[in-house]
Amino acid sequence: MAPCEICTTNRAQILRPKTRSRVCGPCFTAAFEAEVAETITTTHLFQPGERVAIGASGGKDSTVLASVLQTLNIRHGWKLDLVLLSIDEGIQGYRDHSLEAVKRNSADLGLPLKIVSYEELYGWSMDQVVAQIGKKGNCTYCGVFRRQALDRGAAMLGVGHVVTGHNADDVAETVLMNLLRGDLPRLSRATSIVTSTPSASVNKDGGPNGAVSFTNVKRSKPLMYAYEKEIVLYAHHKKLDYFSTECIYSPEAFRGSARTLIKNLERIRPESILDIVQSGMDMAKLVPDTDDACKGSAETAQTEESAGGCGNANGTSKEGEMAAMERKLRENEQAEQDGTEHEVRLPAKAANGQRHDRDTTNLDIPIRTKERRGNRKAGRHAATPAQKLGQCERCGYLSSQAVCKACVLLEGLNKARPRTDIEVGGSGG
């Protein structure tokens, strides 16, 4: 039995995936904490004294994130004002158990906890949504609602920064999925440690000075360079209390396959995971107008991200359906701009839908193929600049459309109509 490579005395217990170094438990947890601290300081993630909400699901990632941040905050005197923020989707037999784990974390760490429920925000729990629309496609609702719920919860707490537990494996998965979908413009969001810095104009318009409105909440993922394996081992060695579960409504899907691929690669060559993350970051730099694309499609891209934070980690988000719904919503908007109405069937035809997607959200991307250029209509191109990130006329949330996606989905629910009946003209308002 080889000794730890750091302290050279204790028995080695962990084979670190990124360096293949053999270290003991105490040296591992110290190194893990030091690396997260380095990520935070080199990216200037936090302001001294900043109020930060930790998106807490009770699962391994957010439990480790909360524990590490609390530890580092005390150790380095960052003076961060940390709170736990949990979303209760209203799924009996799933979220109720993990919320108990969050409550125990709150007590163990001495951090206040705020729970925001879909029911109080939207008048619908996910159990009720599923009763209405069935299991198929419910992840779309959940993802759209969660994104806003975290922002609204943060605003209720007066917090302008939400951190989530996305890890390197999650980011690598998302990078792969974007590659497999031909969706390079989304790489930037997937691989940025800070996402969703809302546009300044919205900030100025919204709310009194200094107050946090739910339209100007910053998002970041401090664990994006941390291996999932090490997160689990950190929780194990620190004896953290977390809850593992699967959402009862989400079946295996595209993300699950990407996840399996990543885990298989990790077994053969563990460095692959961080290498994919790095490749994603490098490729994102090669995609022109990435920032503009991000702003233009901020709402849709954000939904994508929150889906990752969902069961995600468990590889069960229905990304495909989410993407289809997003395309459909964008097509709706395009139809309005074109002055035409066309019913879009679900599931949207991938190839067709994706072209719409690119036309509306990403203006000029030179590296695109001729095929796509040929496909673009002049009128469509001209209409694109009209799409600006503004606020939903109903709820005030950030939206590139007159009415945000959550409000569109809610309207459908409230009219007691099944999801396939959401129409182009009617829903747009």
Partner 1 sequence: MERNIPLTVEFTGGLEMLFSNQRVHKISIPARDDRKEPSNVGFLIKHLCDNLMKDPRKEMFVIDDSIRPGVLVLINDADWELEGEDRYELQPNDNIVFVSTLHGG
Please tell me whether residue 25 binds partner 1 under the rule CB under 8 A.
yes
Q: Which is nearer to partner 1, 163 or 389 (CB)?
A: 163
Tell me the closest approach of the beta carbon of residue 232 to partner 1, in angstroms. Answer: 5
**For partner 1, which stretch binds (CB under 8 A), given 212-220, 243-251, 369-377, 392-400?**
243-251
Q: Report the residue from 73, 300, 312, 387 that binds partner 1 according to the rule CB under 8 A.
A: 312
Q: Find the binding residues for partner 1 in span 282-311 (CB under 8 A).
A: 310-311
Q: Report the residue from 242, 249, 254, 397 that binds partner 1 according to the rule CB under 8 A.
A: 242
Residue type at 152 in one-letter notation:
R
Q: Find the binding residues for partner 1 in span 57-76 (CB under 8 A).
A: 57-63
Q: Which of 292, 314, 313, 294 is nearest to 302 (CA)?
A: 294
Q: How many residues bind partner 1 (CB under 8 A)?
A: 45
Question: Kind of pairing, strands 398-399 and 390-391?
Answer: antiparallel
Residue-wise DSSP of 319-344 = HHHHHHHHHHHHHHHHHHHHT-----
Q: Report the residue from 7, 8, 11, 47 that binds partner 1 according to the rule CB under 8 A.
A: 11
Q: Which is nearer to partner 1, 137 or 309 (CB)?
A: 309
Q: Which is nearer to partner 1, 312 or 360 (CB)?
A: 312
Tell me the closest approach of the beta carbon of residue 17 to partner 1, in angstroms. Answer: 10
Please tell me whether residue 244 binds partner 1 under the rule CB under 8 A.
yes
**For partner 1, which stretch binds (CB under 8 A), given 9-17, 271-279, 290-298, 299-307?**
9-17
Q: How far apart are CA 167 and CA 309, in angstroms?
A: 10
Convert 185-239 into a string of H (helix), E (strand) and C (coil).
HHHHHHHCCEECCCCHHHHHHCCCCCCCCCCCCEEECCCCCCCHHHHHHHHHHCC
Q: Which is nearer to partner 1, 83 or 383 (CB)?
A: 83
Q: How far apart are CA 28 and CA 41, in angstroms?
A: 20
**For partner 1, which stretch binds (CB under 8 A), given 140-148, 187-195, 223-231, 377-385?**
223-231
Measured from the Cβ of residue 416, the count of other Cβ atoms closer than 10 Å reads 8
The Cα-based distances of 13 to 4, 26, 230, 266 in angstroms read: 8, 10, 12, 19
Q: Find the binding residues for partner 1 in span 256-285 (CB under 8 A).
A: 259-260, 263-264, 266-267
Q: Report the residue from 3, 5, 6, 13 that binds partner 1 according to the rule CB under 8 A.
A: 13
3-state SS assignment for residue 57:
coil
Q: Which of 102, 106, 61 is nearest to 227 (CA)?
A: 61
Tell me the closest approach of the beta carbon of residue 402 to partner 1, in angstroms. Answer: 34
Q: Which is nearer to partner 1, 103 or 263 (CB)?
A: 263
Tell me the closest approach of the beta carbon of residue 381 to partner 1, in angstroms. Answer: 41
Q: Report the residue from 38, 100, 120, 246 that binds partner 1 according to the rule CB under 8 A.
A: 246
Locate 259 and state its tokens.
């996840």
The Cα-based distances of 144 to 98, 171, 306, 403 in angstroms read: 21, 19, 8, 13
Residue-wise DSSP of 112-181 = -EEEEEHHHHHS--HHHHHHHH-STTHHHHHHHHHHHHHHHHHHHHT--EEE----HHHHHHHHHHHHHH
Place of tokens 């990403």: 362
**For partner 1, which stretch binds (CB under 8 A), given 117-125, 237-245, 324-332, 399-407?**
237-245
**For partner 1, which stretch binds (CB under 8 A), given 115-123, 190-198, 227-235, 354-362?**
227-235
Q: Report the residue from 151, 228, 319, 321 that binds partner 1 according to the rule CB under 8 A.
A: 228
Q: Find the binding residues for partner 1 in span 329-368 (CB under 8 A).
A: none
Please tell me whether residue 316 binds partner 1 under the rule CB under 8 A.
yes
Q: Which is nearer to partner 1, 126 or 231 (CB)?
A: 231
Q: How far apart are CA 81 and CA 290, in angstroms?
A: 33
29-35, long-range: CB < 8 A, 24+ apart:
29/234, 29/237, 29/238, 31/6, 32/68, 32/226, 32/230, 32/234, 33/68, 33/71, 33/72, 33/75, 35/225, 35/226
Tell me the closest approach of the beta carbon of residue 311 to partner 1, in angstroms. Answer: 5
Do the Cβ atoms of 302 and 186 come closer than 8 Å? no
Please tell me whether residue 139 binds partner 1 under the rule CB under 8 A.
no
Please tell me whether residue 116 binds partner 1 under the rule CB under 8 A.
no
Please tell me whether residue 222 binds partner 1 under the rule CB under 8 A.
no
Q: Which is nearer to partner 1, 122 or 242 (CB)?
A: 242
Residues 6+ apart with CB under 8 A from 46: 40, 52, 78, 80, 161
Contacts with partner 1 by CB under 8 A lie at 1-2, 11-15, 22, 25, 57-63, 98, 101, 165, 169, 228-229, 231-233, 236, 242-247, 259-260, 263-264, 266-267, 310-316
